[in-house]
Structure 1
């Protein structure tokens, strides 16, 4: 796995891949979106903390014993 970084605007949920990365247009990729904003939407910000371990209601030490 390797990383490619470029800046782009998101328009109607789409990101245009720059021509210099044309070989990526029909590829599968894992996408990370980094937003520069001072006042992020609280719901959008919540998505950035999506790991199950971050949700108090999902923490159950008894259930976790099954996996250890």
Structure 2
């Protein structure tokens, strides 16, 4: 949202892609970035990420993941 009282921040972020159980968040971010840009050597700043490899426990979660494939 644009507001004249705040500066425009010229920043980039990458969205899209899936984090699979077999990969960490960092590995997934690298795969997504390389897939989009073609670069495998890059610097990145990660401010905060929440994730847990065992986050998919309920049948509802697993059903949602399977529907995305």
TM-score higher than 0.5: no
Q: Say which structure, 1 or 2, has more relative contact order (CA 8 Å, 6+ apart).
A: 2
Q: Which has the higher strand share?
A: 1
TM-score for both structures, normalised by structure 2: 0.26
Q: TM-score, normalised by structure 1?
A: 0.27
Pair member with larger Rg: 1
